[in-house]
Amino acid sequence: MLTLLAATPLVGALLVTLLPRGDAAAQRRAKYVAFAVSIVALGLSLGLLAGYDVESGGYQFTVQEDWIGQLGAHYALGVNGIGLTLILLTSILTPIVILASFNDVLPGRRSANSYFAWMLVLEGLALGVFAATDVFLFYVLFEATLVPIYFLIGSYGGEGRQRAAVKFFIYNLLGGLLMLASVVGLYVVSRDAGEPSYLLSDLMALDIDGTTEKLLFVGFFAAFAIKAPLWPLHTWLPDAAKSATPGTSVLMVSVIDKVGTFGMIRWCLEIFPNASEWASPVVMVLAVISIVYGALAAIGSDDIRRLIAYTSVSHFGFIILGIFAFTTTSTAGSVLYMFNHGLSTAALFLVTGVMIARRGSASIGAFGGVQKIAPVLSGVLLVAGLSSLSLPGLAPFVSEFMVLAGTFTRSIPLATIATLGIVLAALYILIMYQRTMTGPLQPQSAVVTDLDAREVGALAPTLVLIIGLGFFPQPLLDVINPAADRVVERVGVGDPPPETGVAPPSDDDHEGGH
């Protein structure tokens, strides 16, 4: 089932590439085929969800075949609740992005076939990454995701696209090389233990000495921190988001960047639990810095695309903070946050992408009073923005609350500082909305027309899910909780005992009672 799911977009990409090119009719054909393939993949992922046993919470739909015997590498796939949640996110967002991106490539300028084929390739690789249970397979897919994003930014982006694509590639390639060193190290450790193996189950059973475990952890974590992106390794993201098309930004930030936080849970915490606990104080401090820094940078941004990128730096700080707080509440909240952040950021990138394309500028100062001529666009931006600032009743609120509640039981000072991110989020979203949508209509904004039927159709699913999961997140939490509990148990820290404020009875008290 997982092989079929991951292969569907890849086969679809090949089909789209082979379709005739050239005129407007050929462009439309490529778009419709790509959209149809993404819908098929969505149907398969929903079938995966329907067949998933929520009660067990372990890895399901597993497949394991020998691949490179001398290295101990296997073609091994399987999903637990965490991987399944991100597979659903990927499958939901891809058709939304493809539908919203129909006008990104104009006839006679660039090839729509290649544009949508790269999107499908990216989807297939992402689905494989979230399902891989062999480190070597994961690494190959992890590195392969760089290629489609590089071409999507470098070939189809806007001003500064080539510089942004190269910067993205260099940063993430460097992280991949650091991970490769640790992958080689795992081979040596597993070989010395008896037989080389990259299977997650085998690596979890290894007895790795403390210093080696810490060194191997650093290689993996550095790669994931760049991908996530965690301060101070985040600087590639604003440039990439500014130059990429809205659809590319969604797939990059809402899906591929989640590979970083997903990798922290699946590989760092499960293979290197002691090293993860050792590093947690530093990681949590960096996460809190990301929260505050990202929010402040967003407030100071005039470019809408850079603003959204910096908000994501802040939100990823919350996700990483919850992961390394090592409580069941914060871990489950972080996984839910990955899903909810993907939805709200997708809505923000896509609706502001429409604004920017029609106005011809991404500057906040280039807009004003748009709600008077584009009320539907203004309403969608408001809901997406309120979702980003975690308004109660919208999906991100529940996950952010869970992260903070779990972190408070681990570190009150860090959780208190992180809460400042909520206040700052209200500033950067409401200031941006006020300056672009409210007030008198500025003459330069008169060219902005309202959303058409296709654009509404693309954005509607994100809004429905944002509102629906805001009021009723339990179905998704039922999938996440068993896997999150197992991860926290693996690290061995566990939830802190509740503080009742009552001192335990002493031996003298017992004797006096007798």
User: Helix, strand or coil for residue 61?
Assistant: strand
Model confidence at 511: pLDDT above 50 = no
Pick the more confident residue, 279 or 57: 279
Measured CA distances, 468 to 7, 429, 457, 473 (Å): 30, 21, 17, 8
pLDDT for 510: 46
Q: Is 201 exposed, middle or buried (0-12, 13-18, 19+ CB in 10 A)?
A: middle
Contact 433, 369 (CB under 8 A): no
Model confidence at 487: pLDDT above 80 = yes
Measured CA distances, 237 to 25, 143, 146, 306, 407 (Å): 35, 17, 13, 8, 26
Contact 485, 80 (CB under 8 A): no
pLDDT for 358: 85
Model confidence at 507: pLDDT above 70 = no
Model confidence at 44: pLDDT above 90 = yes
Pick the more confident residue, 307 or 492: 307
pLDDT in tens, 394-446: 989 999 999 999 898 888 899 999 998 888 888 888 888 888 888 787 777 77
Lowest mean pLDDT among 27-31, 137-141, 297-301, 439-443: 439-443
pLDDT for 494: 62
Q: Where in 11-164 does DSSP place strands (E)? A: 60-68, 73-79
pLDDT band of residue 512 (cuts 50, 70, 90) is: very low
Gap between the Cα atoms of 60 and 481, Å rounded: 15
Give this prediction's pTM. Answer: 0.89
Q: What is the largest CA-CA distance in the chain?
A: 94
State mean pLDDT over 131-156: 91
pLDDT for 4: 93
Number of H helices, E strands in the chain: 22, 2
> How far does Cα 250 stand from its chain's mean position?
10
pLDDT in tens, 185-244: 998 888 888 888 889 888 888 888 888 989 999 999 999 999 888 988 888 888 888 888
Contact 452, 380 (CB under 8 A): no
Q: What is the CA radius of gyration of the chain?
A: 23
Tell me what the pLDDT averaged over the chain comes to: 87
Q: Where are the alpha helices (DSSP H) in 55-134?
A: 81-100, 112-131
For residue 100, count other CB atoms closer than 10 A to its CB: 25
